[in-house]
């Protein structure tokens, strides 16, 4: 069987690309990532793979077609941290992603964004996919559902041309969502704040499908719905922005840096969550490092570990600490995306 080709838009550090490669057995043939530091990570991890950079300036008629196109388009227009300006935000890049899909006509589209996208801008995405005659499925899944130490709820979407065969061609056999390797129930674990811009609040919408613009619900019990009581803050792009010493922020406990510094090197109530993720990934690195003036601050290697990325994926690339934390905070937990994709592709096959 021919290995599927993958084109990646708004690639970041490639967390979504890792998941798509794992699930489909494909190989990434190009990226489109504008950020210089993220581009350095991509160039290190996918040497020789071209980066078309600015998605707003690409002539897609001159780009090699890909069997699969994936995109983690910017979440800030739809997140609380980004003031939820939606389509009025200059960072709203979905129209450019849609243009790439319209011209390239991939056999599979994979999209990722914050959970808050469901209530802002998602209707436009569904309408555009339907107008292009793509059939889509989506679900919301938390990183903690696959064993991570933080909540980080995200929206995952798959879509394919309405007349394409759905015979399992895209998915290799994978684990059931939320069951792989975990021996502790998430509702009994204290979890760290997730690395993120800011999770939206509220109950998740049930997974659904759109067929030529008509919304259909599918089973709402197909994904686990563990009740998470206490989570570590998710890594967010602002973790590297500096600011006051975290120890002086008496009222703040919503970011990773403040939380891990106050723990003083002891995991405390988060130990079960840390140990669970260690059993699924690798030993947790030190959460803090010393700055030039001798003060403790968040270690990028710890945020990288929280996100489930391979050791040194970002932190071994010669970029600044602030750039590392920004890229990590904008990233995708590959294990979370893998679980979502296996489930979504299985739903697509059943619905055929």
Which two tokens mark 311?
């050791």
**Contact yes or no for 71/111 (Cβ under 8 A):** yes
**Phi, psi values for residue 84, rounded to 5°:** 50, 50
**Contact yes or no for 262/178 (Cβ under 8 A):** no
Nearest to 49 by CA among 19, 89, 5, 88: 5
**Contact yes or no for 46/317 (Cβ under 8 A):** no
**How many Å apart are CA 324 and CA 317, to the nearest integer?**
9
The DSSP secondary structure of 251-265, one letter per residue, reads: T--SSHHHHHHHHTT
Q: Is 10 marked active-site?
A: no
The SS3 assignment for 145 reads helix
Which two tokens mark 193?
């704040």
Pairing mode of beta strands 153-161, 108-114? antiparallel
Pairing mode of beta strands 288-290, 296-298? antiparallel
**How many Å apart are CA 87 and CA 40, to the nearest integer?**
29
The SS3 assignment for 75 reads coil
What element of type H or E holds 153?
A: strand 153-161
Q: Which residue is catalytic, options 10, 70, 75, 139?
A: 75
**How many Å apart are CA 317 and CA 69, to the nearest integer?**
26
**Sequence-separated (6 or more) residues with CB below 8 Å from residue 34:** 53, 54, 55
**Contact yes or no for 316/340 (Cβ under 8 A):** no
The DSSP secondary structure of 18-50, one letter per residue, reads: HHHHHHH--EEEEEE---HHHHHHHHHHSTT--
Catalytic residue set: 75
């Amino acid at each position: 069987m021919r290995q599927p080709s993958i084109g990646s838009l708004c690639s970041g550090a490639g967390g979504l690309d890792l998941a798509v490669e794992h699930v489909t057995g494909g190989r990434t043939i190009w990226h489109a990532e504008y950020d210089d530091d993220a581009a350095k990570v991509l160039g290190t991890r996918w040497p020789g793979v071209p980066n078309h950079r600015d998605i707003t300036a690409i002539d897609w008629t001159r780009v090699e077609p890909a069997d699969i196109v994936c995109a983690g388009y910017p979440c800030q227009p739809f997140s609380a941290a980004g003031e939820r300006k939606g389509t009025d935000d200059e960072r709203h890049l979905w129209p450019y992603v849609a243009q790439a899909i319209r011209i390239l006509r991939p056999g599979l589209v994979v999209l990722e964004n914050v959970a808050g996208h469901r209530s802002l801008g998602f209707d436009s995405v569904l309408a555009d996919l339907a107008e292009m005659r793509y059939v889509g499925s989506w679900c919301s899944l938390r990183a903690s559902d696959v064993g991570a130490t933080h909540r980080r709820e995200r929206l995952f979407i798959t879509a394919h041309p309405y007349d394409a065969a759905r015979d399992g061609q895209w998915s290799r056999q994978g684990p059931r969502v939320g069951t792989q390797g975990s021996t502790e129930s998430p509702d009994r674990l204290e979890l760290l704040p997730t690395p993120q811009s800011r999770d939206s609040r509220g109950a998740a919408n049930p997974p659904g499908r759109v067929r030529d613009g008509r919304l259909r619900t599918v089973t709402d019990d197909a994904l686990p719905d563990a009740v998470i009581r206490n989570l570590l803050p998710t890594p967010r792009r602002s973790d590297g922005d500096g600011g006051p010493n975290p120890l002086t922020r008496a009222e703040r406990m919503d970011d990773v840096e403040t939380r891990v510094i106050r723990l003083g090197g002891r995991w405390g109530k988060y130990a079960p969550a840390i140990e669970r993720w260690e059993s699924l990934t690798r030993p947790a690195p030190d959460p803090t490092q010393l700055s030039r003036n001798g003060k403790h601050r968040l270690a990028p290697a710890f945020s990288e570990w929280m996100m489930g990325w391979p050791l040194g994926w970002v932190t071994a690339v010669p970029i600044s600490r602030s750039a590392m934390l920004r890229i990590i905070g904008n990233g995708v937990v590959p294990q979370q995306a893998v679980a979502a994709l296996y489930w979504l592709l299985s739903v697509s096959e059943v619905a055929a």
